[in-house]
Amino acid sequence: MSGTGHTLARWRVRAGYPLALACLWLSQPTPQTLQLGFVVGLLGLLLRAAAAGHLCKHEALTTAGPYAYTRNPLYLGSAILAAGFAVAAASVWVAALLAGYFAMFYPAVMRQEEQELRRRYGEPFDAYAARVPRFWPRLRLAEAAQWRFSWQSYLRNREYETVAGFALALYLLWLRYQFG
């Protein structure tokens, strides 16, 4: 990642910690919102898992699996996870903070990553970008042969950390419900 990309990525992470604390403080979870938020978040986890199981970072341009529908399935999965957290938190303020955070960082991060992929892969990336949308998936049937999930890729991409993070977030929301 270039200097600008590294700076943006650093600020995205740094801003995430106080954002998480603010979201926890503003939350008003109930058993019902925790359950519904879990279900929504689970969809995000599944999408991220499928993407991580196809991704071969710095080895090849990944265009199979979820990458056949959107160039950024990991970020789409993260957005769905954030929506699940917002539902679980039962707070319009939490939803607004998370939406603002995503709007502030993710479009620029996606553009930066695309520039790097374009430098690395050139015309094959341009052809891929021309047929697959950046974020919102184009729902069409992909060839079944394109779906070759790899647990090794899933583990190498450390996607289990996202599962642990979401579980911790829901646990903290449950504690917030229990102890106010």
pLDDT given at position 145: 46
Which residue in 82, 138, 129 sits closest to 110, CA to CA?
Answer: 129
| 80 touches 43 (CB < 8 A) | yes
The 3-state DSSP class for residue 91 equals coil
User: pLDDT tier at 144 (50, 70, 90 boundaries)?
Assistant: very low
Q: What mean pLDDT comes out for the span 83-111? A: 95
The whole domain housing 107 covers 3-179
How do residues 152-175 score in pLDDT, each as one tens digit? 888 888 999 999 999 999 999 999
What pTM was computed for the model? 0.88
Tally of domains in the chain = 1
Query: Between the CA atoms of 65, 79, 13 and 25, what dihedral angle is there, to the nearest 10 degrees?
Result: -150
Residue whose C-alpha is closest to residue 68's, from 43, 50, 49: 50
Mean pLDDT over residues 42-60, rounded? 92
Residue 114 pLDDT grade (very low, low, confident, very high; cuts 50, 70, 90): very high
The enclosing domain of 153 has a CATH number of 1.20.120.1630
